[in-house]
Structure 1
Amino acid sequence: MKRILIADDLAIVREPIEIALRHAGYETLAARDGREALKLAQQHRPDLVILDVEMPNMSGLECLRVMRTLEDTRIILTVHAERSTVQQIVACGVAGYLLKGRFSFPELLAKIKALLEAAPVHVSEPSPGDFAAAPSPRCEADDAPAIPAPKRRPEVLERIAEETSLRAIPPVLHHILSLVNNRSTTLDEIAQVVRQDQALAVRILKFANSSFFRSEKRAETLLDAVHRIGLSSIGNIVAALVTMEQFTSAERSGLVPQYFWEHSLAVGAVAEEIGQAVQLEAVDQEMLFLAGLMHDVGRMLLATAYPEEYGVLLEVAPRQRASLGALERRVFRVTHAEATRHALISWKLASAVATAASLHDGTIDELRRAGSPGKTGMIVALADRLTHALIIGHSGDGTLLPIRECARAVGITEEALQRVADRIVERMQDQIFFYASREYQPMAGTVAEQLAARVAGAPTVSVRASTPGFDPLAHFFRRLGWMTGGAPDVEIVSASSRSECDRLVKEAVDARSRTGHACPMLVCAWAPLEGGFTPPPERPFRMIEGVIRYEDVVDAVATLIGQKKSAVEPVAV
């Protein structure tokens, strides 16, 4: 079996390629930076390496210069369309290169097959047409802004450090977290510490008197409020309130603080629920909420440090159906996960919290290699994916992500994860009370309500998946209120491979032929389908492949029931 190494710092780019290659019969290795790629290449001697040019620690070009000494290893580089970069690659004599955003998975698989069957070759100087065909870094609309010019990584890291120091976590949070982790702490001691921060004390009192607690008696003192909230929750409440107060200017970028913190709070709450469901050790459970709450704080830092540039990325990503993380790397040479780690270490939070929070974008293999922090990181990653599927808040990146592999690695069952999803939707009603203490911020409607409003009426959909409890689309449409159990207006097929897709489509066609109800079909493929896809006979269908965004899925349903023209096409890496 041929062995292929995929090296790219962005999981949303790396994982689909890895899945596609495994389905095509190749053994795969994965690395998220140049140093890790070089180490794996030297240890395992892969037959072919797919190497990204722009990676942290060691760039793809630096890595390439060393890898060229490995006998019989062919190398493909994935790059943007800058002429100078392509010329450097050609000069290194690689087996081939691909322009990001310009290749499909069938094309990639065909190129790999040809390279592995042929003797090692070097590419020739690219023709001018190669550059002419490269995509312009602009949105589809003529009046959309151009993607900002790339910045220098050291400059961005320095700017992140400055923003982090300006938003230092106040000592009161560190003090309360240390008290909460001490089993001998009393609620009176917690109240004494909170009194040191008058503004925080007022918000705690207001939260305790919110309708969430449904108490007829008003909490008149801070001690009453702390008793009502309870020792197990007070640390998380303080962490949430304090963290949200550190970022009040990110709105300039287009991030909506209410939606952002709804998402972050939900990830923390979901991570807690999952930790309890899999009976994680108590010491690890205590850090899950904090790691989940903080997992995207690097995005807030980037948006605050570079509001104009980040605002452009937020506008460009959905129009080009691009990964926001990929655009971050392209412009800032840093992803929000890296920025998160820098911030949490600077704020002197526990290293396990910083690691778990910053690993939420990693692959399953990366999380496993991280050891004990990887276990909590795996739970935070699963919590993030489930929260996206439940459309609780919006982190700025409205992308649905596969859940099944992560859930199985965590060790949670479909039934248990469904119970977590059901409980969390109820729990997150609490979030409104965080914003009730921020009187300058008016409450907006939920993201789920806005998505549902894109379609007139409420269509009925059914989702056909191999593991419904682990399927993001099943959670997504249930949250929209469109899975009512009646005869569907649209049937959704959710699959990760060609064989799984063919099987599920056949099951759907056979089932509808027995009932005589043949409705339109939307096929969503979480990984590329090798060899293409055979449409279901005699029924309208649409297909989304690769990156699956909220709006694309909803708009595809609208198209299939005849409400609007389709803007959905298969998405390439």
Structure 2
Amino acid sequence: MKRTILFVDDEPNVLMGLRRMLRPMREKWDMLFANSGQEALDMLAKAHVDAVVSDMRMPGMDGPQFLRQVMREHPDVIRFALSGYSDQEMVGQSIAPTHQYISKPCDEKQLVTALEQAMGARDLVPNKTILDKIARVEHLPVLPEVYNRITAELAKGEPSPKLIGDIVARDVGMSANILKLVNSAYFGLPRHIAAPQQAVIVLGINVVRSVILSLHVFSSFENIGRVSFSLPMLWGHSMRTGAMARAIARHESLVKEDSDHAYIAALLHDVGKLLMEAHCPEECERVQTEVRAQNRRVAEVEHELLGLTHAEVGAYLLGLWGLPDPVVQAVARHHHPQSAQPGIGVENIVHFANLLDHEIFIFNEHYAKAEPSPERLDAIGGPERYAAWRQAVLSVDLGSEEP
């Protein structure tokens, strides 16, 4: 089935250039072109569109205003911002409604890869009701304590980028948002930035300030009377799993890129739980009731009752944001009993880092503990390697469970 992409720009030459550049994609994509935000909205009202790619600076309705309206009226449409380096002051306005940034002028391969990956990520969530809810999410939830610490540092006359980076690194949601932005095509960096501390230094205080000020989703947790799991425990689990993945990658002497991917995927592997808790509370409550009553695994019950798991929901949003495909796939499959890729790769490292943290740290005595499946053990070379990984992570300082 062909995908439909809508390109929006007030400059006819830009649209003509995109049409010409993307001619090889005509067999796979139906492409629409609009020269204003209003014309694009009229097209969206008449036809199904999979993704929009919008210029930032347009007369009348600018790019951020257009994308925000698309987010409200057509939440399942993937939203890209096409922007030049003179648009940096608009980054703060466009962060919320934008899934990814593409630099202008853009490279054909880069644009095609980003769109194909984002549209493929949506296929990870077969439940349309949950997809519509998650598609409206602007940012991952952030703990109020973390938000307050960063806000206090930003309020100083000369805030410290290193200190802000250290605070960001302690929070899963904030790390995801910062890494999303710094690794977008908009900044055109020659290599992937894996550490939040480095990302803060690269982005600069002003951009970070706009990111922090736009993060309102944390308030969704303040307004929930009852959360079905402990947020500090989830944060601790995510941080430890990231540390374990890094230790395993170091034990296996993985190249830096694979090691970074394993760390990021492990750090973010449970972001789907945050999204579902904030935006699908009734579904989460049904799942947790069954988990506690029957001593079953969360992912197993999610799949049975909802037709998907938090792993797929998290991978969906990370895919929309353009995180590397190995990260997206590792997050999506971290509960699968079978490995898609045999060997010592990112997917298997994240899977076993998650299992090891659940084995070493008891979160809830009512939750059934997952055991390594024979298929996954075979994929990494047998139980002996799993035992060696266990020893490797036990030698690491895994830090506190508190955020």
**What TM-score do the two structures reach when normalised by structure 2?**
0.49
Q: Which has the larger radius of gyration?
A: 1
Higher relative contact order (CA 8 A, sep 6+): 2
